[in-house]
């Protein structure tokens, strides 16, 4: 089966990267080196795979589409540093790669329909990861890199920045893909913090506070968090309950989560 016979599948959110200039720019941003542990999610037809293997790194790839498996095996299967894992990256157990702490470098042209849940899945494994380079929908990258006070600041921004330093590297137009998507894309670099700048007592409570706060982002915190904590608990966290959630920075949300940890109801969902 020729690589040219495989058509991108809408149900997998496939848009194959083909622009050699963009591929080279991504590879230069990653700067993979011999002996490193790389994981590529959704290699597709191998546009980035070839360059990543050319660095001398050990490369695992995860591909869901069964029709792409023989294509990837034919191209790269003879390389002893290539390991192909067929399956769903959303369900993949990254611990099975047996990578040392903070050693895994993750790369992916992520399907837009799973990008956010997949990033949260990877953040759950942040202790294994040295860095991540992803091609994502441009507006998703803008939300990740956003700061407080604007419409892009929300759950994704806060939880990604809790775990990682975020760098919006460059944008990529639709013409770099086949088929061309209807949106612009961007490359983002995520580097997990060695030491969390604002560690929460319980990051699950932080996720809960942030989710509740932004469920009704136009309401004040006093209203949107009333099911979780009373107004005096918000004030005890040194937060003004009359503010809207987008006006709070990461440190303020961590203070709210730590205050929630003191509430008798915190253990209940």
| Domain 203-260, classified CATH 1.10.8.100, yes or no | yes
| Spatial separation of the C-alpha atoms in residues 259 and 115, rounded to whole Å | 31
pLDDT over threshold 90, residue 45: no
Q: What is the DSSP letter of 42?
A: -
Q: pLDDT band at residue 4, thresholds of 50, 70 and 90?
A: very low
Give the torsion through C-alpha atoms of 175, 180, 181, 183, to 10 deg: 20
Helix spans in 133-237 (H):
138-145, 155-163, 203-215, 221-224, 231-236
Integer-rounded Cα radius of gyration of the chain: 20
Fold match between 3-192 and 203-260? no
Sorted by where each begins, the domain ranges of the chain are 3-192, 203-260
Q: Which residues of 201-240 are buried (b: 16+ CB within 10 A; e: fewer)?
A: eebebbbbbbebbbeeeeebbbebbeebbeeebbeebebe
Number of Cβ within a 10 Å radius of residue 150: 13
Residue holding tokens 């969902």?
Answer: 269
Give the torsion through C-alpha atoms of 2, 62, 52, 193, to 10 deg: 160
Query: Residue 181 has what pLDDT?
Result: 81
Range with lowest mean pLDDT among 1-15, 89-103, 233-247: 1-15
Percentage of the chain lying above the pLDDT 90 cut: 81
Query: Residue 212 has what pLDDT?
Result: 96
**Per-residue pLDDT tens digits for 144-178:** 999 999 999 999 999 999 999 999 999 999 998 88
What rounded mean pLDDT belongs to the chain? 91
CATH pick for 3-192 out of 3.40.50.150, 3.40.50.1260, 1.10.1370.30, 3.30.420.40: 3.40.50.150
Q: CB within 8 A of 115, min separation 6: which ones?
A: 134, 136, 137, 140
Q: In what order do the strands lie in the sheet with 104-109?
A: 82-86, 58-63, 37-41, 104-109, 129-137, 185-192, 164-172
Q: What average pLDDT does the segment 103-131 reach?
A: 92
């Amino acid at each position: 089966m020729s690589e040219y016979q495989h058509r991108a599948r809408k149900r997998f959110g496939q848009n194959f990267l083909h622009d050699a200039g963009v591929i080279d720019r991504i590879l230069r941003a990653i700067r993979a080196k011999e002996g490193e542990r790389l994981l590529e999610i959704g290699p597709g037809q191998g546009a980035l795979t070839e360059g990543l293997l050319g660095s001398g790194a050990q490369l695992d790839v995860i591909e869901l589409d069964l029709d792409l498996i023989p294509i990837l095996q034919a191209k790269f299967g003879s390389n002893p540093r290539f390991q192909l894992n067929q399956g769903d990256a959303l369900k993949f157990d990254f611990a099975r790669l047996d990578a040392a702490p903070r050693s895994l470098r993750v790369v992916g042209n992520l399907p837009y329909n799973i990008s956010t849940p997949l990033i949260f899945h990877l953040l759950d494994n942040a202790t294994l990861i040295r860095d991540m380079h992803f091609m994502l929908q441009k507006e998703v990258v803008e939300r990740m890199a956003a700061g407080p006070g604007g419409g892009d600041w929300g759950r994704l921004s806060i939880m990604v920045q809790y775990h990682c330093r975020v760098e919006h590297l460059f944008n990529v137009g639709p013409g770099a893909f086949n088929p061309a998507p209807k949106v612009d894309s961007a490359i983002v670099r995520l580097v997990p913090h060695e030491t969390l700048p604002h560690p929460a007592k319980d990051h699950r409570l932080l996720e809960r506070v942030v989710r509740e706060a932004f469920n009704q982002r136009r309401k004040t915190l006093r209203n949107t968090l009333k099911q979780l904590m009373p107004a005096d608990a918000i004030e005890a966290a040194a937060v003004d309950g009359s503010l809207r959630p987008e006006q709070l920075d990461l440190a303020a949300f961590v203070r709210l989560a730590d205050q929630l940890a003191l509430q008798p109801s915190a253990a209940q969902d």
